[in-house]
Amino acid sequence: MQSPKDESTLNPQFITQFEDYLKSCGLRLTQKRLDILNQVFDYPGHFQTEDLLVQMRRNGYLVSRPTIYRTLPLLVKSGLLTEFIDAQKNTRYESIHSLQEHAHLICLRCNQIVEFKEPRIDALQKAVCEAHQFKPVRFRNEIIGHCAECQAELEPKTTEANDEPTA
Ligand SMILES: [Zn+2]
Ligand SMILES: [Zn+2]
């Protein structure tokens, strides 16, 4: 039961944060949980549970599917991982890299996920938190709808139809 040596550059604060959360639930930061934490932060972009399992196996970790399924929600609750539901109702995850948050546009039809950053939204959220003396851990912004391509396919004649005389 060995784990590969990780040359991970994981921020030690993240380890502390996870460990503190686990302690508050009466759980320990086991090597498996630490491995998953490391690999979550190594994952580029959004992933589903199975994607993480594939990455971990490829990197030589001996980790079971149930362990990953049990650990990801703990990471979400600890504030280190964001969870969102895509248009196909799959749960996707993304690690928090610093507090550099971004928002998502999720297309209901093709399931495309576009990321965007909007400083005005960030500023507004901070102002709202301050007004309520609320200490934010993370922000989650999602706009669900239809991308430009899908709109074109869903409503191909909307703009022209107005000009056409009715027969
Ligand atoms: Zn689309
Ligand atoms: Zn994202």
* Strand residues in 54-166 grouped as ranges (E): 81-85, 91-95, 103-107, 113-116, 142-145
Instruction: Tell me which ligand sits closest to the C-alpha of residue 87.
Output: 1
Residue span of the structural domain in which 44 resides: 1-96
The domain spanning residue 37 has which CATH number? 1.10.10.10
pLDDT in tens, 96-153: 864 457 888 999 999 888 988 888 988 898 899 999 999 887 777 889 999 999 999 9
User: Which neighbouring-strand residues pair with 81?
Assistant: 95
Q: Ligand 2 centroid to 83 CA: how many Å? A: 10
Q: Which residues surround ligand 2, an ion (CB under 5 A)?
A: 94, 115
User: In percent, how much of the chain has pLDDT > 70?
Assistant: 85
pTM: 0.70
* Same-domain status, 75 and 151: no
